Structure 1
Amino acid sequence: MSLADLLEPLQRPLFTLLDTPVSWTEVLGFGSGALCVWLVARQHIANWPIGIANNVLFILLFTQAGLYADAALQVVFITLAVYGWWTWTHGGGPGSDALPVRRTTRTEWTWLLAAGVVATFTLTLLLDRATDSTVPFWDALTTALSLMATYGQCRKRLESWWLWISADVVYVPLYAYKELYLTALLYAGFMALCVNGLRSWSRDLAAADRRSPMEVTAV
């Protein structure tokens, strides 16, 4: 039995939404994606394996929809998930295994923005010339924003939530345009979860900032 035969059941329509068939792949991607973001907002380590499962499902979904940059992005996400899984459990520094929430430094912003611009430009040209993508710029832009946000998530940088929100603002109409209506709905939900995550991480950072002067005084 070939790989295509094994994956075929996941590609079968489960129901119809707005006259468009919705596959098992899209439904499972919806559920695992929402669970992953909910776990990230709560800084729960289980977000990483759930996220990897979500990435595999989205590779199938985006390839079928012709969103090739987004499909390739999932492979990078899997690699970053392994890195993020490790940093969340071992990146706390001396005396602590847990990685604390931090703000993105000016140096990090500089190279993140530079990398984002280069990635968007390069991917746009690649998708326009080497694929049949009908949305090369928007596919490239969301890919770049998502990579920037994932780096921040791996390092527990607070501003990673703003990058995710920016990506989701583009993702929702993009997926609706590609008739991935359930996925568009999922990313609209992601925006709400990202706002919740931003608030949760902000509270943790504020609490850590309040503790720091107290610790210095105690010393």
Structure 2
Amino acid sequence: MGSLKGRLRGTARGKRDSERPEPHFRCRTEAKMESAAKGEAEEVMEGVASIALLPSGAISGHFVRLPHSICYGLHGTELSCERECSRGEDYRLIKLSIIDYTTKREKVVAVECRGHDAARFQSIDHAHGWEEDVIGMIKEKHGNEQISVSFECETLKADNAAEEHIRKYMPNLSGHDAVVNVGKMSISGINFKEEDASQAKELKDQACYTV
């Protein structure tokens, strides 16, 4: 009799243990999901940018992501701030807007621009020589959400060549005496699709709550 009770207790214990969730499996699964989400957020977009540099200091153009051939808009205005003495006149800070034509969304990042006609851009996180309070102010006011941008002019078009390029690809800038920079660009820290999915989920949750 005692032996039968022991077997029954053992059976019940085994059943309860089998019903418990697998903690290690759950942790591994969650870790994979977090890693995948992080990988998507840190995806690097690489391609070619065509940028018009206007006499006013503003920039305008587009970035074509390769090999997908997805086009993004670029628009930048110069930020007013004092540069350190170690910086030359060809250094300036640009508030750069990156526009996704598909989702009608845009992201803003402050970048350092070096060069007059043939420009190079890099994120201010990697730009040395600007006072920390200036960089902090730019991040607080405009934000960059850990967005990283890199661009270097490989082809410079001026005068007739620039005007021909602008009439073909940026007709709204025709007649503004701009020069055109063409070169490789990389952008990381942007995921417009992930944001759309997140916003759709929020709207769905709100709709369910109101109902």
Q: TM-score, normalised by structure 2?
A: 0.25
Task: Compare the two structures and name the one with the higher strand fraction.
Answer: 2
Task: Compare the two structures and name the one with the higher helix fraction.
Answer: 1
Which has the larger Rg? 2
Q: TM-score, normalised by structure 1?
A: 0.25
